[in-house]
Chain A
């Protein structure tokens, strides 16, 4: 339903915008109906940029985003509004998503003004109540309150309820649980699972690998704007191929296993833009080949539903 084709975003940096910073390079993937796809990467890998491009919050440098046959980047005015009926986003920090001067339910009124100007009062009220119950909140307890009177988990669920008012098909969830406590975190995570079973597609952006495993069928690993590995979650987690994914998996703090003695290469993390593989500077020398320094390898399918961008692996 959502298809990204060679999506690229280059930011202009420097005093006069003279320098170019490629944030996302040639990213292509698709999300099917009722599917949860995890977009995993460290800070600066471009994962949020992809989310923002899908939500049409920033422009696209090149490439195409296709949602049910519509080219998203060309949407304007009424068509864009219609697009937002189907696609909504929820962001990381629930505390700063609200205006502290107004009551939290103001976010619902904005939706009403914009999308349902003709609805009757009692119908609107029922709609809000239903949507709040869907996300596991008791409307009597949470309505008519200011943001500081609600907990982080409640505020975050409020935002999801707001998105659900529109009967959306696609949700961009950008680090939505990283600010929450362990005990409330799982509730929000399970809520996403429930929504998915009702046919909602979710792009789950996270840096926490264990969360990604819990909820998604497919995972995409990003490194400095490039997809380095992509495929079914089980394959990515249990048989990672790309050296970056391997290193990432080895450094996840786990409760069932102690860290192995893996040396983390800290140097070269901020490398200059080169022509070779993006991971070249951090890749262990033993694995490096001459071709690695010359061009970025493309994604190849090494087994069914498992793609990797590394010259060490050839097409099956």
Chain B
């Protein structure tokens, strides 16, 4: 097992109390697995990604453990985590396009970054250039400022940069969202290529666009309102989801070949709950079409079939 997360709970501290953005997350990722993390905005997917690598206030670590390659990560300690960041765990943050220092040439910035991790830039340079070739960027890019690159080029540059030290885990947060369809495909394909070449052992790809995950991910984890709703292989999530939220989410996606006149898509009525005071029991209860009295209790995240985890009372019954 590459990554193992147990009962992870991360809250946001606010003046009005704790916002329960990530509650009781338990799952694992195998070596070489690309796990997609999907959900609507505000469901806690970015919180989950960030908490594994950079848990800074107002985020507050409550409980839980994160193990990477059988080693426990001290995620609650900003200082101790420094040892692991970039080398073992790396992230491509949301809006990575603006993540590069605008006042430094890209090459200079990389060398400073490597210096801070006590890695020689000169020794790494050859590998760096090889990877630039792989993502179809010219070597001359190292002498350019970030402003000279287009969105897709910046995204590919950041991909090379964050995986330069071959981390075990890469967290890619919404990296394709702001790109054109053709660039989006190119960047997504490169992610898979980096995994295949074992530059990165496993990946968490965070996105709200499930159709991208269908193309590149091995498994998909669906979150709803700070809770894990369902995790299974990509094929199962898309074709035979079990959680009512996943079902509604998948069926509400417009597809090429579906026209309103033939098949009218239906959205999910209602809104996501406020996480300051989340509702008791299942958090999807108010919007769920199949909710019943048992749902007032919180459903645990249980493996109902091999590698298929669901948090829904109705589904355990069917399997019992």
Contact surface of A with B, Cβ cutoff 8 Å:
42-43, 151-152, 181-187, 189-190, 193, 207-211, 213-215, 233, 237, 247-249, 251-256, 258-259, 262, 264, 266-267, 269-270
Check B266 for interface membership: any CB of A closer than 8 A. yes
Q: A35 CA to B277 CA in the complex, in Å?
A: 45
Are the CB atoms of A181 and B40 closer together than 8 Å? yes
Give bound CA distance, A270 to B148, whole Å: 12
Residues of chain A within 8 A (CB-CB) of B185 are: 251, 253, 259, 262, 264
Q: Are the CB atoms of A247 and B182 closer together than 8 Å?
A: yes
Residues of A within 8 A of B250 (CB): 255
Q: A181-B41, A186-B266 are in contact. Are A214 and B260 (CB under 8 A)?
A: yes
A190, A255, A270, most chain B CB atoms within 10 A: A255
| Inter-subunit contact B212/A183 (CB<8 Å) | no
Residues in B neighbouring A264, C-beta threshold 8 A: 182-183, 185-186, 189
Inter-chain contact B136/A266, CB cutoff 8 Å: yes
Instruction: Establish whether residues B256 and A190, one from each chain, have CB atoms under 8 Å apart when the complex forms.
Output: no
Tell me whether A256 and B257 are in contact (CB under 8 A). Answer: yes
- Nearest CB on A from B175, distance (A): 14
Interface residue? B208 (CB, 8 A)? yes
Is the C-beta of B290 less than 8 angstroms from some C-beta in chain A? Answer: no
B-side contacts of A214, CB under 8 Å: 254, 258-260, 265
CB pair B254 A190 closer than 8 Å:
no
Known: A185-B267, A187-B267, A259-B215. A42 touches B182 (CB 8 A): yes
A251 touches B238 (CB 8 A): no
Q: Does B252 contact A (CB under 8 A)?
A: yes
Least Cβ distance of A157 to chain B in Å? 12
Q: A237-B256, A267-B136 are in contact. Are A182 and B181 (CB under 8 A)?
A: no
Residue pair B260, A190 in contact (C-beta under 8 Å): yes
Q: Is B211 interfacial (CB 8 A cutoff)?
A: yes
Please name all residues of chain B whose beta carbon is closer than 8 Å to the beta carbon of A215 when the two chains form the complex: 259-260
Q: Are B254 and A211 within 8 A (Cβ)? A: yes
Q: List 21 A-B contacts (CB under 8 A).
A: A42-B180, A42-B182, A181-B40, A182-B40, A182-B208, A182-B249, A182-B253, A183-B248, A183-B252, A190-B260, A210-B255, A214-B258, A214-B260, A247-B182, A249-B256, A251-B185, A253-B184, A255-B250, A258-B215, A264-B185, A269-B150
**Complex: how many Å from CA A267 to CA B266?**
40
Q: Is the beta-carbon distance between A213 and B40 smaller than 8 angstroms?
A: no
* In contact, A190 and B214 (Cβ under 8 angstroms): no
A221 CA / B17 CA spacing, docked (Å): 50
B249 to chain A, nearest CB (A): 6
Cβ contact within 8 Å between A254 and B267: no
**In the complex, chain B residues whose CB is within 8 Å of the CB of A269:** 150
A211: which B residues are within 8 A, CB to CB?
254
B264 sits at the interface (CB 8 A) = yes
Chain B residues within CB distance 8 Å of chain A: 40-41, 136, 150-152, 180-186, 188-189, 208-212, 214-215, 238, 248-250, 252-260, 264-268, 271
* CA A182 to CA B39, docked complex, whole Å: 9
B249 contacts A183, C-beta separation under 8 Å? yes
Q: Which residue of B lies closest to A251 (CB)?
A: B185
The answer, among B183, B254, B257, B260, for a CB contact under 8 Å with A266, is: B183
Residue among A181, A251, A267 making CB contact with B182, cutoff 8 Å: A251
Contacting residues, chain A, for B238 (C-beta < 8 A): 255
**From residue B99, how far is it (CB to closest CB) to chain A in Å?**
19
Residues of A contacting B258 with CB < 8 Å?
210, 213-214
Known contacts A190-B264, A253-B209, A266-B186; 5 additional CB pairs below 8 A are A186-B252, A186-B254, A214-B258, A251-B182, A262-B185
Task: Please tell me if the beta carbons of A255 and B182 are within 8 angstroms of each other in the complex.
Answer: no
In this complex, the member of A233, A266, A267 whose beta carbon has the largest number of chain B beta carbons within 10 angstroms is: A266
Q: Which residues of A contact B150 (CB under 8 A)?
A: 269-270
Tell whether, in the assembled complex, residue B254 and residue A43 are in contact, meaning their CB atoms are under 8 Å apart. no
Contact of A255 among B184, B208, B211 (CB under 8 A): B211
**Closest Cβ of chain B: how far from A218's Cβ, in Å?**
13
Is the pair A256, B255 in contact by a Cβ cutoff of 8 Å?
yes
Minimum distance in angstroms from B298 CB to a CB of chain A = 22
* Alpha-carbon gap, A256 to B211, bound state (A): 9
CB-based closest 3 A-B pairs: A42-B180, A251-B185, A183-B268
Taking the closest CB of chain B, its distance from the CB of A217, in whole angstroms, is 9
A58→B297 CA distance, assembly (Å): 57
Q: B136 and A253: CB pair below 8 A?
A: no
Query: Which of A249, A251, A255 sits near B253, CB closer than 8 Å?
Result: A255
Q: Which of B152, B255, B266 has the most CB of A within 10 A?
A: B255
CA–CA, A152 to B253, complex, Å?
18
Cβ-defined contact, B214 with A253, below 8 A? yes
Give the nearest-CB partner of A40 in chain B.
B181
Among candidates A152, A182, A255, A270, residue contacting B255 with C-beta atoms closer than 8 Å? A255
Q: State whether B152 touches A186 (Cβ < 8 A).
A: no
How far is B186's CA from A152's CA once the two chains are assembled, in angstroms?
30
In the bound assembly, the distance between CA atoms of A254 and B151 in angstroms comes to 23
Closest-CB distance, A158 to chain B (whole angstroms): 15
Residue of B182, B215, B248, B265 with highest tally of chain A CB at under 10 A: B182
- Name which residue of chain B comes closest to A259, CB basis: B215
Nearest-Cβ distance from residue B276 to partner chain A, whole angstroms:
14
Q: Do B265 and A253 touch across chains, with their CB atoms under 8 A apart? A: no
Our pick among A213, A237, A253 for the contact of B211 (Cβ within 8 Å) is A253
User: Least Cβ distance of B85 to chain A in Å?
Assistant: 30
Cα A247 to Cα B260 in complex, Å, equals 25
Residue of A nearest to B138 (CB): A267
Bound form: Cα–Cα A253–B253 in Å:
12
Whether the pair A251, B248 counts as a contact (CB closer than 8 A) is no
What CA separation (Å) do A215 and B256 show in the bound complex? 11
Q: Are A251 and B40 in contact (CB under 8 A)?
A: no
* Nearest chain A CB to B194 CB, angstrom units: 16
Which residues does chain A contribute within 8 Å of B260, judged by CB atoms? 189-190, 193, 214-215
Complexed CA–CA distance, A206 and B86 (Å): 37
